[in-house]
Amino acid sequence: MRTIEIRPTRKFGGGWVAYEGAGIEPVFPGQRGKGDAISYAKGRFGGGRGEIHVYDDAGEAVVETIPVDDKRYG
């Protein structure tokens, strides 16, 4: 199953990163960064299935798991 992690980052002055794998981790800055990262991740599944794991502000624990399937985001 494919998983994308949404985590805070200190790179590039802060923001949230949508981590898919090495080299695929766009950063979304600003107050809307977390929401923008989640929206990006939902769009990356392209009708497939998987999960989005959203971490807390410290980046230490998953606070939300968003299931993605072809019916919701395809």
pLDDT bracket for residue 71 (50, 70, 90): low
Q: Which residues, in sequence order, are bridge partners of residue 67?
A: 51
Question: Given the structure tokens 């790179």, which residue do they identify?
Answer: 11
Instruction: Return d(Cα 74, Cα 61) in angstroms, integer.
Output: 28
Overall number of domains in the chain: 1
pLDDT bracket for residue 23 (50, 70, 90): confident
Q: Does any domain span residue 11?
A: yes
Q: Does any domain span residue 74?
A: no
Query: What percentage of the chain reaches a pLDDT higher than 90?
Result: 62
Instruction: Return d(Cα 34, Cα 27) in angstroms, integer.
Output: 9
pLDDT bracket for residue 74 (50, 70, 90): very low
Question: Given the structure tokens 């950063």, which residue do they identify?
Answer: 27
CA 30 to chain centroid, in Å, comes to 15
Q: Does any domain span residue 16?
A: yes
**Residue 26 one-letter amino acid:** P
Residue 3 has pLDDT above 90, yes or no: yes
Residue 7, domain extent? 1-27+46-54
